[in-house]
Amino acid sequence: MSDTAPITQDVATIPRKLPEGPVNIVGLTRPALRAALVAMGTPERQAKMRAGQIWQWIYQWGVRDFAAMTNLSKAYRKELAEHFVIEIPQMVSRQVSADGTRKYLARIAGGHEVEVVYIPEADRGTLCISSQVGCTLTCSFCHTGTQKLVRNLTAGEIVGQIMMARDDLDEWPERGVPRDETRLLSNIVLMGMGEPLYNFENVRDAMQIAMDGEGISLSRRRITLSTSGVVPEIARAGAEIGCQLAVSFHATTDEVRDRLVPINRKWNIETLLEALRAYPRLSNSERITFEYVMLRDVNDSDADARRLVKLIEGIPAKINLIPFNEWPGAPHARSDWDRIEAFADIVYKAGYASPIRTPRGEDIMAACGQLKSDTERGRKSRREIMADAKL
């Protein structure tokens, strides 16, 4: 019998079944949703249009109930409800800082929690979202780095953080919200918990939904992905996501960067800069953001500032100086204010914008690098933290 077993199979005989149990629509890419609709029995020629209609309901109007999708037939809505769910992370707490910053704790499947931070400013509202529960990396100054990686977030959990914040801001169009430029939630930064380039596919799929005109509909120029320097994935991010890039630079010699950002031992400063120079579409209006956390007596000298501008020569760049945000047990101290200003001045005089990032939401531990879900058990010991930092 095996002699005659077919080596090719007629596509019509390939079972097209949905997995057991309802599928979460949130986070499915357009092709994936189309395929799932076809598997449910939607005629191929209709699937594309139906997917677009469903996307608009979910991502533009904030609808969470198939019954409310009134441009679909009643029978179709019922069928959708049998096969799919519309699920986003659950907001378990919300803290509002004196400066208006909001910090949310979002619960995802398995009972894990990630933090999401909304930062209102005069000309924009930025949502800082997480890509992993914990992080595999152990940057010495980062609170998240003290928490072991628990798991990657799914695409639905990543885009779902945006939807959760829009619920809280009451920003869905049918509730009378203004148009794009004046959106409350106008910008996304992937600067929460985790290393986004170590969860590439899910981050890419979620950002594609965020950028799609029938999705969340934010311009790729309003989305910034921050990486600690996962060099092989940088080109891929440029090609497959196309958003703005920020890099956690933090040091100007390999010796210091090896200690602060241990991934530097794998891909050093030179290799990283090479990947950054090749990032697509770099120009004066699309610059790479170099994040530089100011640590007293570690990386904050005038010589560091001069080395920094020399290293990045020729790269359209902006240097974001981040005063170190303290957290309990942190092995570093924040540089003095006049030190930060002197550093900023050297960088500025070399021709680079060098904003000093005003710490936001400090009173609620919502500032950069302070994020960490206290409920997680997998905690690195203080000894491990100090050892990683070689302090």
Residue number, 131 or 208, with CB nearest to ligand SF4: 131
Residue carrying the six token digits 């000298």: 301
Question: Would you count residue 145 as binding ligand SF4 (CB under 6 A)?
Answer: yes
Smallest gap from Cβ 156 to ligand SF4, in A, equals 21
Task: Extract the runs of DSSP E, i.e. beta strands, from the chain.
Answer: 23-24, 84-85, 90-96, 102-108, 112-120, 125-128, 132-133, 151-152, 187-190, 223-227, 244-248, 288-294, 317-323
Question: Would you count residue 134 as binding ligand SAH (CB under 6 A)?
Answer: no
List of residues 6+ apart from 53 with CB closer than 8 A: 69, 71, 72
Binding-site member from 195, 205, 233, 326 for ligand SF4 (CB under 6 A)? 195
Phi and psi at 202, nearest 5°, equal: -65, -40
Size of the site for ligand SF4 (CB under 6 A): 11
**Could you give the 3-state DSSP secondary structure of residue 67?**
helix
Instruction: Choose the binding region for ligand SF4 from 74-82, 105-113, 137-145, 176-184 (rule: CB under 6 A).
Output: 137-145
- Which secondary-structure segment (H or E) carries 296? none
Size of the site for ligand SAH (CB under 6 A): 18
Q: Considering CB distances under 5 to 8 angstroms, the limit depending on partner class, which of ligand SAH, ligand SF4, none binds residue 293? A: ligand SAH
Instruction: Choose the binding region for ligand SF4 from 83-91, 131-139, 332-340, 378-386 (rule: CB under 6 A).
Output: 131-139
Please state, in angstroms and rounded to a whole number, the distance separating the CA atoms of residues 240 and 248. Answer: 21
Instruction: Choose the binding region for ligand SAH from 54-62, 85-93, 296-304, 322-330 (rule: CB under 6 A).
Output: 322-330
Please state, in angstroms and rounded to a whole number, the distance separating the CA atoms of residues 140 and 251. Answer: 12
- Tell me the Cα Rg of the chain: 23
Residue 295 contacts residue 333 (beta carbons within 8 Å) = yes
Which parts of 234-253 interact with ligand SF4 (CB under 6 A)?
248
Question: Would you count residue 142 as binding ligand SAH (CB under 6 A)?
Answer: yes
Smallest gap from Cβ 68 to ligand SF4, in A, equals 38
Residue number, 59 or 292, with CB nearest to ligand SAH: 292
- Which secondary-structure segment (H or E) carries 4? none
| Residues acting as catalytic residues | 115, 368
Q: Which residue is nearest to ligand SF4 (CB)?
A: 145
Question: Would you count residue 309 as binding ligand SAH (CB under 6 A)?
Answer: no
Question: Would you count residue 147 as binding ligand SAH (CB under 6 A)?
Answer: no
Binding-site member from 142, 295, 309, 321 for ligand SF4 (CB under 6 A)? 142
Smallest gap from Cβ 75 to ligand SAH, in A, equals 46
Question: Would you count residue 343 as binding ligand SAH (CB under 6 A)?
Answer: no
Q: Which residues pair with 290 in a beta bridge?
A: 247, 319
Instruction: Choose the binding region for ligand SF4 from 21-29, 96-104, 134-142, 236-244 (rule: CB under 6 A).
Output: 134-142
Residue 151 contacts residue 131 (beta carbons within 8 Å) = no
Which parts of 214-253 interact with ligand SAH (CB under 6 A)?
226-228, 248
Binding-site member from 141, 200, 279, 290 for ligand SAH (CB under 6 A)? 141
To 5 degrees, how large is the angle CA 153–CA 159–CA 161? 80
Q: Which residues pair with 288 in a beta bridge?
A: 317
Please state, in angstroms and rounded to a whole number, the distance separating the CA atoms of residues 265 and 281. Answer: 28
Instruction: Choose the binding region for ligand SAH from 36-44, 106-114, 135-143, 310-318 (rule: CB under 6 A).
Output: 135-143
Can you spell out the DSSP letters for 109-172?
GGGEEEEEEEEE-SS-EEEE--SEES-S---TT-SGGGB---EEPPHHHHHHHHHHHHHHHT--
Smallest gap from Cβ 368 to ligand SF4, in A, equals 9
Binding site for ligand SF4 (CB under 6 A): 135, 137-139, 142, 144-145, 194-195, 228, 248
